[in-house]
């Protein structure tokens, strides 16, 4: 019987946790923008893959997110059955709870499927266009 061994990347993704780092400039406001163009998850109804660009924009307070931990943690969604709305809100909540930033916005820009394009925005200030 051929037993598939997990690759090192699969192991890293499986154990991934978001990691806060001290903000090197907590005395001033500045904006951090992160784009993750290869986000994937699975449609909870059909099982088809959903692809998105996740955009994160925040003004840090005491902490910033360590980028490798964010990349690996976002890759944990790739085999999960989760809606666009739930995924975007879960990413927002995890980052907000971890970092407690002065401002946070997470945008899930999901690629069209079946002629439908979905963009989900979550912001800490509640100001939407």
Provide the residue-wise pLDDT of the chain in tens; the chain has 129 residues: 566 899 999 999 999 999 999 999 999 999 999 999 999 999 999 999 999 999 999 999 999 999 999 999 999 999 999 999 999 999 999 999 999 999 999 999 999 988 999 999 999 999 987
Taking the CB of residue 91, how many other CB atoms lie within 10 A of it?
24
Taking the CB of residue 120, how many other CB atoms lie within 10 A of it?
20
- Within-domain flag for 5: no
> Does the annotation count 2 as an active-site position?
no
Can you give the residue range of the structural domain that contains 37?
19-123
Q: Kindly report the CATH number assigned to the domain that includes residue 35.
A: 3.30.1130.10
Q: Which of 29, 43, 97, 125 is catalytic?
A: 43
Strand ranges, E, within 1-129: 20-22, 32-42, 49-59, 63-65, 103-113, 116-123
Domain tally, the chain? 1
Measured distance CA(5)–CA(50) in Å, rounded: 26
- Within-domain flag for 8: no
**Full-model pTM:** 0.94
- Within-domain flag for 29: yes
Q: Which of 41, 50, 97, 125 is catalytic?
A: 50
> Does the annotation count 43 as an active-site position?
yes
> Is the CB of residue 91 less than 8 Å from the CB of residue 106?
yes
């Amino acid at each position: 019987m051929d037993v598939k061994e997990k690759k090192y990347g699969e192991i890293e993704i499986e154990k991934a946790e978001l990691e806060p780092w001290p903000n090197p400039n907590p005395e001033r406001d500045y904006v951090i923008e992160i784009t993750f163009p290869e986000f994937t998850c699975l449609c909870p109804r059909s099982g088809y893959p959903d692809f998105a660009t996740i955009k994160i924009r925040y003004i840090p307070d005491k902490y910033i997110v360590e980028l490798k931990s964010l990349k690996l943690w976002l890759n944990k969604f790739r085999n999960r059955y989760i809606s666009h709305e739930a995924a975007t809100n879960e990413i927002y909540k995890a980052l907000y709870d971890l970092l407690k930033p002065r401002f946070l916005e997470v945008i899930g820009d999901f690629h069209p499927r079946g002629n439908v394009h979905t963009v989900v925005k979550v912001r800490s200030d509640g100001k939407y266009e």
